[in-house]
A and B are shown apart, each in its own frame.
Chain A
Amino acid sequence: MPQSLLKLDNVTKVFLTDEVETHALSGIHLEINKGEYVAIAGPSGCGKSTLLSILGLLDTPTEGTYLLNDRPVQGLTPAERARIRNRQIGFIFQSFNLIGDLSVYENVELPLTYRGMPASDRKARVEEALEKVGMAHRAKHVPSQLSGGQQQRVAVARALAGYPAVLLADEPTGNLDSKNGDAVMELLHSLHRAGSTILMVTHDTRFARHAQRTVHLFDGRVVEESVEEKA
């Protein structure tokens, strides 16, 4: 029996700018189980990133409910949301979002420091994560000394280091050439095989096929769900 990890029920997101309402999401129903690899696809402006922001607790829905591990999260305080982001969600961004003034090691270590984890434990987790993405040898470098593909690997390591319940990837290959893009997708694939739950936003159907299931968005609504036979 699959176990539900994320569940959105009738989620709506409205942005209000200068008294003009923009409906970014309308009546979204979505459920993602533990261990699933789901892609969210759709054209630019369809609400993919807004949906990911809500799932990642970076934003709140205007209406509807959001259950994470069967717990409603829409009414949490900013501090509780930060705690959940830190412990249960791993983020991978299109533009890597590494902190340029920190070394590779420090970037990966950063979310662990916010947990108050002892230094020795942090060290073990960081080394493990960097080993997993094949970047242990660049631990002392700063992001500007790495290629785009390497930076994204570091970002993946940072997301993994905290043993999150789900990895949220927002166009993870968007800033990479095809070779590096393929390598990152392969990395995500291997992580999924190892048991990680992954939710990936992409507008590229080629990469969406790596997921078990693809949710298609258009104008803020789920218009189609397709299941890949070979995930």
Chain B
Amino acid sequence: MLICKDLTKSFDKELFSNFNLELKPGEIVAITGPSGCGKTTLLRCICGLEDLDSGDLLLEGRDISTLNAEERGIGLIFQKAVLYPHLNVEGNLRLGNKKGDITNALVEVGMEGFEERRVESLSGGEGQRVSLARALLAKPKVLLLDEPFSSLDEELSRRLVSDVRSILKERKCPAILVTHNKNIAENFADYVISL
């Protein structure tokens, strides 16, 4: 279980203050809010890419607030798929887990046979599927998704929302999605909260 307790962060202005959340195993939550309200920063603070001003983060009973991002066991899928151009699809997946079952991971996200493909040749949706496969290969205790469907067309976005939700539910992987799109939030998450 992930517990966010009184999380507060401000840059020039206050982004969020005393944010609280209890994410149970296998639960998927969506956080919505207008652009610039601090949704992305909240995810970056939870996974350790940004420091919190105050508050506590407990993951499976352990305080992870002061751990580096790479030690927290929290995965993040960025708004635009981050794929390393010097590696092909398989190379990118191996970064998630050197000994993981790449073929199966690709099958799971509907990208069977894409191992040798260069990442520049992937479409936006394919790129996001590869990012998801890689994030899942790393076996995160919680997966954070930073508007990964927002840059895709409506049809593709709808399909991916449904596919990703099924995969996460199948794996019982808790996840937090941030999005400004209420429809996506409702279709993807078990419940929605506003920031």
Q: A and B bound?
A: no
Interface residues of B (CB under 8 A from A): none
Interface residues of A (CB under 8 A from B): none
